[in-house]
Structure 1
């Protein structure tokens, strides 16, 4: 059997990732992060540290748990078309853009990229006087000798992951994870 996975905590992290994206702009505005009054005050640096740490930890936790769970289901011969469930979960969303390399944009592959990224860069929206994190990350890594880069859109990815887990829950795929009987 697989590891026991706290799916409620996983769902919570996916929810919080979405909230972080939408909270950034009003938070930065209210705290005057990235504007002229912030010069030399390091408020943006402190905010960057919080966002980078929380986002990285939540992404890694969600990606690893999803991969462990997905591998358990495949190895348990759980009868489902995971590619179709993945595609349905991503329907109408833009979860990522490939900047370099050749690979598919699926939830499983993005989980792999999150896990194996050797560099992770927060992308800030600085198009106006407002500076804030708008939920984009640049993930950079290598697979063998081939370099890859992926721009990840946290809100849409987290929403797709939530849909994917909901579909697996509806099919009772989450019921048996971690059970040893």
Structure 2
């Protein structure tokens, strides 16, 4: 017997991640969260940023690990070439991120490997200005940076989590229709 394939659970996590990204800017504006590059940080900034980093990091690790298990389990029923083709077709012409350093092909499979094996992880925040009431605020822009090494080769990537989650959903939807779960 193989592992259970948690299509529903992964779909839920990906859905919630996209909602978190889409609503984060408005939440940060309303809560007046500011990280403080030109002024003092808001009172709860450190707690806000730490909570967000914890949530996103844990969700990405869980999704990446389950996704890799699904791929490896599905390889019993589908060829490696079919899985690679599905990976590339779900990426389409859109980029899920940027390779900042190292020799990395940023596929869904490889992005999951990088999430799992990263030795450093950070959310990328942006500053904005609210019109009414007028104040500065900072929000997570949906980008995460990961870095680590594979053997003696260092790598660093910036992952667009919203686009990544869309591509992952595409992959899982197609996979669910082609394997026995």
Shorter-chain TM-score tier: 0.7 to 0.9
* Residue 108 of structure 1 pairs with residue 115 of structure 2: no
What is the alpha-carbon distance in structure 2 between the residues aligned to residue 146 and residue 8 of structure 1?
36
Aligned to 1:179: none
Aligned to 1:27: 27
Task: Tell me if structure 2 keeps the 8 A contact 1:21–1:133.
Answer: yes
Q: Secondary structure at the match of 2:58?
A: helix
What is the alpha-carbon distance in structure 2 between the residues aligned to residue 77 and residue 106 of structure 1?
21
Deviant stretches of 4+, over 6 Å: none
Task: Tell me if structure 1 keeps the 8 A contact 2:2–2:73.
Answer: yes
The alpha carbon displacement at 1:138 in A equals 0.6
Ranges in structure 1 where 5+ consecutive residues have no aligned partner: 177-181
**Following superposition of structure 1 onto structure 2, how do residues 1-181 of structure 1 map, counting pairs within 5 Å?**
1-34=1-34, 39=40, 41-74=42-75, 76-79=76-79, 81-126=82-127, 129-171=136-178, 173=179, 175-176=180-181
Residue by residue over 1:91-136, the C-alpha shift from the partner in whole angstroms, topping out at 9 and shown as x without a partner, is: 1422110001002110000000000000001111126544110111
Ranges in structure 2 where 5+ consecutive residues have no aligned partner: 130-135
What is the alpha-carbon distance in structure 2 between the residues aligned to residue 35 and residue 141 of structure 1?
26
Q: TM-score scaled by structure 1?
A: 0.88
Number of residue pairs matched? Answer: 172
Change in 2 beyond 3 A, CA 1:41/1:164: same
What is the alpha-carbon distance in structure 2 between the residues aligned to residue 137 and residue 67 of structure 1?
19
What CA RMSD, in Å, does the superposition of the two structures yield over aligned residues?
A: 1.9
The alpha carbon displacement at 1:81 in A equals 1.0
The alpha carbon displacement at 1:156 in A equals 0.4
Q: TM-score scaled by structure 2?
A: 0.88
The alpha carbon displacement at 1:35 in A equals 7.4
Q: Secondary structure at the match of 1:142?
A: strand
What is the alpha-carbon distance in structure 1 between the residues aligned to residue 85 and residue 78 of structure 2?
14
What is the alpha-carbon distance in structure 2 between the residues aligned to residue 158 and residue 35 of structure 1?
26
Change in 2 beyond 3 A, CA 1:70/1:39: same
